[in-house]
Every structure is written in C-alpha cells, then in structure tokens.
Amino acid sequence: MKISYSWLKSYVPELPDAEKLCDVFTYHLCEVESLETLPEGEKIFDLNILPNRAHDLLSHQGIARELAGQLGLKFHDATPMYKIPESLPTKLQIESQTDNCRRYTGRIVRNITVGPSPEWVVKYLESIGQRSINNIVDATNIVMYDCGQPCHAFDIRKIPGEKIIIKNAKDGEELELLGSEKIKAKLKNSDTVIANADDMTLGIAGVKGGLHSGVQNDTTEIVLEVANFDPVAVRKTARRLGILTDSAKRFENDLSPTLCDFAMMELSALIVEMCPNAQFETIVNFEQKPPENLRKITFKTAQINNMLGSNISDGEVVAILQKYAFNYTQNGDVFELEIPAMRLDLWSINDVAEEIGRIIGYDTLAPVIPKIDFDKKVNEKHEKIMRARNVLLAHGYSEVMTYSFAKSGVIEVAYGTSGEKFLRTNLSDGIKKSYELNRLNAHLLGCDEIKIFEIGNIFLEKNVEHTHIAIADKKGVKEFSVENFAEKISDENNLSQILLIEKITDTKIFIQNFNKKHFSKKEIFSAWSPFPFITRDISVWVPEHTDPEILLQIFVEHGGELLARTPQLFDMFSKENKTSFGFRLVFQSQNKTLTDEETYTIVDNINNTLKNKGYIVR
Amino acid sequence: MDTGTEHPLSIVRNEAYEIFSELGFEIADGPELETEWYNFDALNVSKNHPARDMQDTYWIKMTESEIEQAQAGERSSRPVLRTHATSVSARMLEKASHENKNTCAYISIGKVFRNEATDATHEAQFFQIDGSMIGENINLSNMKAVLLKFYKKVLGEDIEIEFRPSFFPFTEPSVEVHAKFKGKWLEMMGGGMLHPNVLKNAGFDPEKVQGFAFGGGLDRIAMIKYKIPDVRLFYQGDLRLNQF
C-alpha cells in the first residue's frame, strides 16, 4: 500500500526522516517494498501490510498510530477540529434483505456543489497514485486512505422515496460501473447489491458503485454510504468479476463495523470543508447486531518471556502498553488488556507475544540452543534411501531429479498451468529421457558411459503413493520400490545383477587417479554453453615412464578457453619401452558453434608440438 | 571406481538432515499427495485463504459430488498436492500427542507443489525444508539458535540471521527469517511459535505445550549457496548440474 510521508506527518509531526522510518517498518511492522521521492519532493512508501494487520493498517491513520507507539511520539487526533453543523431530521430508510450487510450507515447531505477539490486533497490523492475526480468523490477516497473505511456517495435523484435496500442481485442482471473503463458487471444471485425502492441496482456492495447512480456534475443532494459488508461475500464477488478495487481489498480483509462511526464523521467534516453550505441530516444506522463488547486478554510477563525467550520486565510491558495507548489494568503480575475494536488480530496470549515481540524487536532475542533430550526414532525409510544412494553413488551412478507430472497416469490435477496434468506412475519414463540427454553429453561430462538414478514418489491408484528408485545405464532402465531395492542390495552378490560393475585393473586405477587429480568439485555454479561441442581424441607414443602430465599441459596450452573441460585420460598401454596415452579433448565455445576447421587447427598445433618433442602421434 | 555425482539439492538436504539430527530432530516424512485436512485445516489455514483457490493449488480432479463427499466428515479427505512440507509437522505432532510425547522435534525435507507460471525463481514443484519442535518451554530464541546453526553449516560460519515480523496462519508470533550471506540480507524462510489452533488440532493442550515451526524452500538455499541462476535447472535430469 502506498503511504505518503507528509500525510503520516500530519498525524505525528515529530516523525524522523522517511529513510529512518524504513528500518522501523522492516524490523517492527512490515516489509518496505520501496521508498520513492516524487518530483515535488514528496516521499512515498510502498508497504506490504501483513494480512493479519490489513484490518487496521491499510490506512494512513493506522500506520501513523503504529509509528507514534513504536517511537513514543505524540499522535495528533484531528477529530476535535471537525465542525459538522447540527443535523436536520431525515426520512432516509435503510433496509437489509441479506446476511452479508453487517452495518450500513447512511446520511443525506443537501445543498452541495460538485466541483474541484481543494489543493491539499488533490496533492494527497495524486501522491499515492490516485486521480482526483471531484470534491465529493475525493472526500470518500480521502477517508478510505486515511482511516481504512471505504465510503460511497449516491445521487439522491436515483433514490426515490429516500429508501436504500441491501439485497442479493438478480441472476444475470448487468450493471454499468463507475470509472472510465465502462465495465458492465454481470451479476449473480450470490452477489450483494445496493438497490433503490424501484428495485434498481445502484452499486455492488463493497466493490464498486454503478455509473448512473454516482455523483454527477449537477448533483446537489447526496446519500453518503459508510457500511460494513461480509468479507467472504465481497471477496467472492470481486474475484469473480475481476474487480479488485481498494474498497474490495479492505472489506475482504475484514473491517471492524465500529469504524463506520469515525468514517462518517470524517467524511462529513471533509464535505463541510468543501461545501460550507451543505445541510446534513441525521445519520441512519442499520446494524445486523449490536456492537460486541471489547475483548480482554489476560497475561503475565512471564508467559510472554516463556514464549519469546525474552527477558523483559513488567515495567517494560507497561511502557509498551502506554506508548501504544492500550487500555489495561495491572493486578500484581497479571495484566488485563482491552483490545481496541480495530485490532481484529488480537485474540490470545500468542497474539500478545507477537505484539510485544515485534515492538521490542526480534533482534533482542538471544539465540539459545534448547537443552532437551529428545526421544527420537530412526526413520527406517530414510535409512533405506540413504543406504541405496550410497551404494549407487559408490558404483558410479549419478543422481538426477525429474518432474512429478506426466502426460498420462491415474491421478489428474483439476487445473494445471502446464500441459502435463497427471501425476507420474513411474520414474522410468523420466529417467529414460534423462539418460538420452546425458548420453549425448557423455564426453562433456567426462564419462565413458552414463549411469544414473532417481529416487522419487510415484502415484498409482487413488491416494496411494510409493517411493521408487530407478536406475538407467546402457543395459536399460530398472525400477524398484525402496523396500525392494533395499532388500536386493543387502546381498552383495545381487549387486552385479542390478548394477553395471566394472572390473578393476591397475591401468584403470591409474587412469582414474590421474583424472581425479585434475578434477575439482565446484563451489559456484558454472553455466554450460548452449552450443554444440566437438570431441577430438589424441593418442600419442611417449617413452616409457613419461609423466602424462606433460601431455596434458600441452593440450591445455593450445586448447585454451575452447576446452570445455580438462582433457581426460581414457586409454593407456605400454609396448617396447614406449607408452601410449589416449586423451579426449572436448571443444566448445560459450558464444558460437565451433567449426571442424577451428578444432583441426588446434589439434594440428598440438600434434606439431608433440612431434617437436619427439613423440609419435598415432 | 569412479563415484557418481550428487544432485545439489541432495547435498544441501543431507547437510540439513545431519545438522538437525545433531540438534535432536527426528527425520520425518509424509505424502506428497496430501489431504485438505493436513495441508490446510489442521494448520489453521482459513477456508477462505487464497491458497485454497483453484488457481494456486493443485487439487486433484474430482466431480462435485466426490468433493462434497470428501469434505463431508470432520476432516476433509479431499486430495491435494501438498503446497508446503508443513503438512508433515501436522501429521507428526498429531502422532506425538497420541503417543503422549510432549517433547519432540521433527525435520522433513520433501517435494511440494504450486500451481503457478514458472520462471527462473518459480517452479511448479520444489523442495521444502520443514521443522518443528515442541516442549514445555520451547521458545522463539531456541528457534533462532537452531536456525543459526543450520545456516552456518550450509552457508558458512560467517552467516548472520535475523527475524522480521511476518504472518502465517500456522504460527503466532510469526517471523520471516533473513540471512546475511556475502554482505547481503536475503529472505530465507518463515517460522514462528506454533499457533494454539495447530496444537489443538494435533491433540495438544496449548496451555501445556508450546513450540516453534519453520519452513522454506530448499531450492532457494541451494541457489544461493551455489549461485544457481534458475530453479528449473534442478528438474531437467541433466548431469551437467551435478558440479558440486
């Protein structure tokens, strides 16, 4: 939500700089999306108000009160300055035919002149990204952004008999909405609307007013609406219609019905400022049920400390409650806290702990390792999975992960964004694709052959899933349940039936050790090239006992940046005082497709260097 | 013999399991195909929470009457691909209360699903790490120490963490956990003290038992640790990813 710094300052004149407030918000209230400075110098915060505080903090007053409490500054209440003329008697009637209207306060105001708003109103609205429309509409918007209560004004010419009815819409009826977009909303019986006595729909409750019933340039008499609608009903209607107005956003987060009184007073006071000759009639109040008594929560400081791991005293609690202007009583170590009507988020000791925790700041909590002897069990399935992984890794199988979704299966998701809407019934299909992909990259990966496995869940019949292990190598794909696999590998003799196990020779060990010495695991991800690679194998006779390291250095020197990986030794044998080493060079560019010629040039240079050293290139 | 290479998510997962096991956590697991009860209701997620919408969550295809039937009892058995691994905490805490265990801790790392358009930082499937610890006096400072140990192990000894105010239906107080990695504060996970309703749903008396729970993306931790630029790389079955 966009919050104007100078608007806040009108309530808390001693506020520190906007930049300093960012930390106060971040560590004690909510995330600051941005702090922007407008061309005329106005500073605007974009705050991510947390869902549990949307009842009271989608408003400048709410934020200002929060800051005053947090910083121990004075909050200037503007209410005493409101001068609303004495009300005249009224004939306005309000009737609710739905459960979705918790409260509806209405007031007729006559003798108004619709025109431009005062400069400060235009400035405030524009600074938070809103457009000034006319004085009356602006007044309703100012009230919403100031105290959080959405308000509306109807032209009384559309309310014959001065009677307002809140009811369910007629299925299929259409209503053209206020605003430049000329949206026609198609309503359903489950939507709540405001109608007149002629059964004409004037607006969608809590969402948006109708075009024809709104304030016109020649309007002189209006009915002000300050109401409270059921959050779920408003949310459903607004979401279905795709009209997420600021009003709907506030209602769907649940507002206190008591807020109507303040909002009607503030709205009236603004209209007095804009239209000094306005005549106000008595407020008509419909209430589904009488307002509830204020809730009380009792707690002890020790309970708060026990929950937070903090170490605050009763005195510190008192200081917090006073700064935040909470009403409370203290009886020994027991506090009884009266919850303000707007604080629909405070219900339990946990809520009080959060309130105190965020106010003192969670940085004040020292990390303490709990010293408890937990009676913990071994997770057998996890153990089996770990054992299986270790065996597979030890035998040269590498791990892959693929998607749980498939083109066909038994269980289908109701609504999916991608084309694959079924849950996989096996791992084999996914690992086959993975095998093919990796096989093409074998040289790049420095492998002679690809050996992979995946451990994951599959979904066969309704609501039953199994954890499987799939392995893929040149002999094909095999898939097991974890239990089955664990049983099979428990007998060493079985391993060769399941896995490809190479014979170990001294030469192989030499080759592996040599390659391992030149391979290091990465700390930071290195992106692979999207361009194809070219493999060149080079075999060379060298005198016996020549260190293959010398050859490697020559390859690296000539290959330079175009070597996709350190050349791998793949072959070695000795004959007649000579040893042949076979190296695999993999060339790849990060930014183009290499031509054969480019690699031949490098290989030619390498061969020449080798010859000059007296080696024989095979 | 050449050993195989590990998937980066497994490396981080196993480090996490190791450190949490040392701290007394029991390794737990639960189904990826969950019930509405364990994924939402037991965790105090209101019936009108946006996460319950068709658009954000993978509900399983059923007829209207099948859905009605699944939701008929006290506990909805309507199947859903779990949206968080916190459902495992809900299951384990319930099990603990049935066994009269008032002091326990669980850690679980598993796949979760979100029905959303994918991009470099969003995937339809990803891994989440979820933990909970209960006891008579288990508090938020304890969670701070536990998570600090974890991040030090995974991201390095010089890591710092801090808690910022947040909101989750299943915890109260709720905090967002941020970690300072290479000079930058990053949002890492969410957590807080288990909401009394969550404890009640598990069969505990919130007057007698309290504890914390935390959860967040494992993929994100791996992406930060290894500077992996795109979450989708984890699920391509491509061995070029196994560099670590």
Measure B183 CA to nearest chain A CA, in Å. Answer: 17
Residue A531 pLDDT greater than 90, yes or no:
yes
C-alpha A53/C-alpha B165 separation (Å) is 11
What pLDDT, in 10s, does the model give residues A96-111? 999 999 999 999 999 9
Inside any domain, residue B174:
yes
Give the residue among A387, A366, A378, A371 at the shortest CA–CA distance from A455: A387
Residue A472 to residue A282: CA distance in whole angstroms? 81
Is A374 inside any structural domain?
Answer: no
Residue B79 φ/ψ, nearest 5 degrees? -75, 145
Instruction: Please state the φ and ψ torsions of residue A239, each to the nearest 5 degrees.
Output: -65, -40
Whether A250 is in a domain gets the answer yes
Contact between A351 and B5 using a beta-carbon 8 Å cutoff: no
| Percent of chain B that is helix, strand, coil (3-state, to 5) | 35, 30, 35
Predicted confidence (pLDDT) at residue A387 exceeds the cutoff of 70: yes
Please answer yes or no on whether B239 and A441 come within 8 Å at the CB atom: yes
Cβ <8 Å between A504 and B1 = yes
| Alpha-carbon dihedral angle through residues A358, A363, A366, A372, given to the nearest 10 degrees | 50
Burial-class residue A65 by CB neighbours within 10 Å (0-12, 13-18, 19+): buried
Find the CB nearest A399 among B4, B141, B229. B4
Contacts of residue B92 in chain A, CB cutoff 8 Å? none
| Residues A281 and A133 occupy one common structural domain | yes
pLDDT value at residue B124: 93
List beta partners, residue B189.
Answer: B177
Task: List CB contacts (< 8 A) between B53 and chain A.
Answer: 239
Query: Residue A375 — pLDDT band, cuts 50, 70, 90?
Result: confident
Does the bond joining B173 to the residue before it have cis omega, within 30 degrees of 0?
Answer: yes
Beta strands A398-399 and A452-459, pairing class: parallel
Answer whether B148 sits within 8 Å of A523, measured CB to CB. no
Do the beta carbons of residue B89 and residue B130 sit within 8 Å? yes
A354 touches chain B (CB under 8 A): yes
Q: Are residues A425 and A489 in the same domain?
A: yes
Question: Nearest chain A Cα to B58, which residue?
Answer: A413
CA–centroid distance for B28 within its chain: 12
Q: What is the CATH number of the domain that holds B188?
A: 3.30.930.10
Q: Which residues of B touch A399 (CB under 8 A)?
A: 4-7, 10, 242
Element (H, E) at A11: helix A5-11
Query: Looking at the structure, do residues A102 and A52 belong to the same domain, yes or no?
Result: no
CB contact under 8 A, A375 and B60: no
ipTM, two decimals: 0.96
Same domain, A195 and A260: yes
Quick check: A419 contacting B, CB < 8 Å? no
Domain, as residue range, for B120: 8-31+85-241
Higher per-residue confidence, A281 vs A506? A281
pLDDT tens string A316-353 = 999 999 999 999 999 999 999 999 999 999 999 999 99
Q: Does the residue A514 lie in any domain?
A: yes
Counting Cβ atoms within 10 Å, is residue A580 exposed (0-12), middle (13-18) or buried (19+)?
middle
Question: Does residue A307 share a domain with residue A191?
Answer: no
Would residue A366 count as lying in a domain?
no
Please give the structure tokens belonging to residue A72: 């121990």
Residue B23 reports pLDDT greater than 80: yes
Question: The CATH number of the domain where A613 resides is what?
Answer: 3.30.70.380
Structure tokens at A345: 């988020």
> Which positions ≥6 away from A133 have C-beta within 8 Å?
A141
Same domain for A172 and A130? yes
Calpha distance A185→A427 (Å, rounded): 48
Contact A158, A165 (CB under 8 A): no
Q: Spell out a b/e string for A87-126, using b for 16 or more CB atoms within 10 Å of the CB, else e.
A: eeebebebebebebbbbbbbbbbeebbbeebeeebbbbbe
pLDDT tens for B25-43 read 999 999 999 999 999 999 9
Chain B residue numbers with beta carbons less than 8 Å from the beta carbon of A351 are 172
Measured CA to CA in angstroms, residue A485 lies from A240, A403, A492, A601 at distances of: 50, 22, 12, 50
Domain limit, last residue, from A231, A262, A287? A287
> Which residues are registered as beta bridge partners of A331?
A334
* Cβ burial, residue B3 (10 Å; 0-12/13-18/19+): middle
User: Average of pLDDT values for A494-516?
Assistant: 89
Residues A312 and A212 in one domain: no
Give the one of B10, B27, B165 whose C-beta lies nearest to A382's C-beta: B27
A279 with A319, same domain? Answer: no
Predicted pLDDT of residue A80: 84
Using DSSP's 3-state secondary structure scheme, residue B43 falls into helix
Interchain contact, A400 vs B162, CB within 8 Å: no
Tell me the chain B residues in contact with residue A430 when contact means C-beta distances shorter than 8 Å: 237
User: Does residue B233 form part of some domain?
Assistant: yes
Query: What would the two tokens of residue A260 be?
Result: 């109507």
> What confidence tens digit (pLDDT) does each residue in B126-164 have?
999 999 999 989 999 999 999 999 999 999 999 999 999
Domain end marker among A464, A479, A498? A498
C-beta atoms of B162 and A363 within 8 A? yes
Report the pLDDT value the prediction gives residue B56, as an integer from 0 to 100.
83
Q: Whole-prediction pTM value?
A: 0.92
Q: Domain check: are A319 and A349 in the same one? A: yes
- For residue A84, being part of any structural domain is answered with no
Residues A232 and A121 in one domain: yes
Helices (runs of H) and strands (runs of E) counted in chain A: 20, 28
Residue A294 near residue A339 (C-beta atoms within 8 A):
yes
Do A413 and B81 touch, CB atoms closer than 8 A? yes
Distance from the Cα of B239 to chain A's closest Cα (Å) equals 6
Distance (Å) from the alpha carbon of B169 to chain A's nearest alpha carbon? 9
Touching check for A231 and chain B: CB below 8 Å?
Answer: yes
Whether A88 maps to a domain, the answer reads no
Chain A residues in contact with B210 (beta carbon < 8 A)? 306-307
The stretch B109-120 carries a mean pLDDT of 93
Taking each helix axis as running N to C, give the angle between helix B218-226 and helix B8-22, from 0 to 180 degrees, rounded to the nearest 10: 110
A410 and B CB contact within 8 Å? no
- Count of structural domains within chain B: 1
User: Residue A143 sits in which domain range?
Assistant: 93-287
Separation between Cα atoms, residue A327 and residue A340, nearest integer Å: 8
On chain A, the residues whose CB falls within 8 A of the CB of B141 are 308-310, 365-368
Contact B141 A367 (CB under 8 A): yes
Q: How far apart (Å, rounded) are the C-alpha atoms in residues A612 and A616?
A: 10
Which pLDDT belongs to residue A376?
81
Contact residues on chain A for B15, CB-CB shorter than 8 A: none
High-pLDDT (> 90) share of chain A, %: 90
Task: Quote the pLDDT of residue B54.
Answer: 72
Average pLDDT (A308-315) is 97
Question: Å from A138 to nearest chain B CA?
Answer: 31
Q: Provide mean pLDDT across the span A500-512.
A: 88
Q: Is A382 exposed, middle or buried (0-12, 13-18, 19+ CB in 10 A)?
A: middle
In DSSP terms, A319 is beta-bridged to: none
Residue type, B244: F
B237 vs A306, A402, A414: nearest CB: A402
Same domain, A244 and A164: yes
A147: closest CA among A58, A77, A67, A73?
A: A58
B22 part of a folded domain: yes
pLDDT digits (tens, 9 = 90+) for A42-82: 999 999 999 999 999 999 999 999 999 999 999 999 888 88
The number of folded domains in chain A is 5
| Of A152-156, A288-292, A403-407, B49-53, the least confident | B49-53
Q: What is the dihedral of CA A376, B106, A348, A50, to 10 degrees?
A: 170
Question: Residue A175 falls within a domain, yes or no?
Answer: yes
Q: Closest partner residue to A431 among B117, B229, B237, by Cβ?
A: B237
A66, A244, A307, A434: best to mutate for the B interface, most B CBs within 10 A: A307
The answer as to whether B80 is a domain residue is: no
CATH number at residue A481: 3.30.930.10
Contact criterion met (CB < 8 Å) for A348 and B9? no
Q: For position A174, which CATH number holds?
A: 3.50.40.10
User: Distance (Å, rounded) from C-alpha A519 to C-alpha A447?
Assistant: 13
pLDDT value at residue A463 = 72
Which of B27, B101, B242 has its CB closest to that of A398?
B242
Q: Residue A374: pLDDT above 90?
A: no
| Cβ atoms within 10 Å of A240's Cβ, excluding its own | 14
Q: What is the CATH classification number for the domain harbouring A312?
A: 3.30.56.10
What is the residue-averaged pLDDT of chain A?
Answer: 95
Count contacts between A and B (CB, < 8 Å): 262
Which distant-in-sequence residues (6+ apart) come within 8 Å of A23 by Cβ?
none
In this predicted structure, what is the pLDDT of residue B114? 93
**A281 found inside a domain:** yes
Residue A109 to chain B, least CA–CA distance (Å): 38
Q: Would B124 be classed as within a structural domain? A: yes
Q: Tens digits of per-residue pLDDT, A409-434? A: 999 999 876 778 999 999 999 999 99
Angle at A173 between CA A169 and CA A174, to 5 degrees: 115
Distance between start and end Cα atoms, chain B: 19
Regarding whether A301 and A277 lie in a shared domain, the answer is no
Read off the pLDDT of residues B174-191 as tens digits, 9 standing for 90 and up: 999 999 999 999 999 999
Per DSSP, helices labelled H in A254-343 are 259-274, 301-308, 314-323
Token representation of residue A359: 């106010």
Q: Of A248, A283, A241, whose CA–CA distance to A262 is shortest?
A: A283
Whole-angstrom distance, CA of residue B71 vs CA of residue B59: 13
Nearest to B174 among A239, A354, A454 (CB): A354
Q: What is the pLDDT of residue B1?
A: 58
> Could you tell me if residue B73 is inside a domain?
no
Kindly report the nearest CA distance between residue B192 and chain A, in angstroms: 9
**B150 within a domain of the structure (yes/no):** yes
